[in-house]
Amino acid sequence: MDVFYVSHGSPKLPFEELPVRDFLKGMAKLVKHKPKAILMVSGHWETRDPMVSTTARNPTIHDFYGFPRELYELKYEAPGAPDVARRAKQLLQDAGFKQAGEDPKRGLDHGAWVPLWLAFPDADIPVFQLSLQSHKDAAYHYRLGRALAPLTREGVLIIGSGTTTHNLRHMLPTVPDWGKAFDDWLYDCLIHQRYDEVTQFMDKAPYAKLNHPTPDHFLPLLVALGAAGEGATAQAVHRSWHGSFSMASYVFKPAVGAPGPQQQQEL
């Protein structure tokens, strides 16, 4: 399975006439085979240690306030994937993430269900989530993804869901220079496989702190990149803007015959 990173934008995206919505509605065409399960890594679930959701059926979490009533009526009640989630937890523990655990009640937050509602509207593919640890750095999240790389060879579609530039304190109606500089830097790094720079984005990227005052909406990209494995290549599958928010999305294609993740020290 290829691995994806998508920009999910606002919770209102299902009702907004935006290019990124059109991209997500056609995204399933880029997935070569129907997945056994989907692992969503959203910028809206953070825990102290890595957690996987093991619910049998996913409740829809409306984790936002002050939006139109019809948005709260949307549901995405895909079945859970508890067995695959436990497989993911074991992979994490084997790779050194000894405190990885399970959450049997967690549903799908809007960073997960909004893109899935658009891309896989039948809600017939089992879904589970993995939490972020935003108190850890980007390199940690890349290693988190590397531990999960075997899932891509087991029919699991891994999708990181964030927003490529995400500063809610400086929302602008047009593309700012600082946003474009970051977006172009990321594109150049990914296309030319300068992944070490991406894992050090806070030090290497132009205007990193201005584009991501908090890292939560960028870290899903690091998990997705890691999950694609050593030697993966990146392609931009969508690039557009919604004001000052880059909606860029990428696919990471695993290298043929890439080795699995090596054992890591306890993290």
**Shortest CA distance to 39 belongs to which of 4, 91, 74?**
4
DSSP H or E segment with residue 128: strand 127-132
pLDDT above 90: percentage of residues in the chain: 88
Of 148 and 260, the structure prediction assigns the larger pLDDT to: 148
What are the pLDDT digits (tens) for 8-59? 988 999 999 999 999 999 999 999 999 999 999 999 999 999 999 999 999 9
HSE at residue 194, side-chain half, CA atoms within 13 A, is: 12
Q: What is the pTM assigned to this prediction?
A: 0.94
| Complete domains list, the chain, with CATH | 3-166+215-245 (3.40.830.10)
Tokens 């590397």 found at: 146
What residues form DSSP beta bridges with 132? 46
Average pLDDT, the chain: 94
Torsion sign, CA atoms 131, 136, 141, 146:
negative
What pLDDT sits at residue 262?
Answer: 46
**Shortest CA distance to 20 belongs to which of 37, 7, 39?**
7
pLDDT band at residue 255 using 50, 70 and 90 as cut-offs: confident
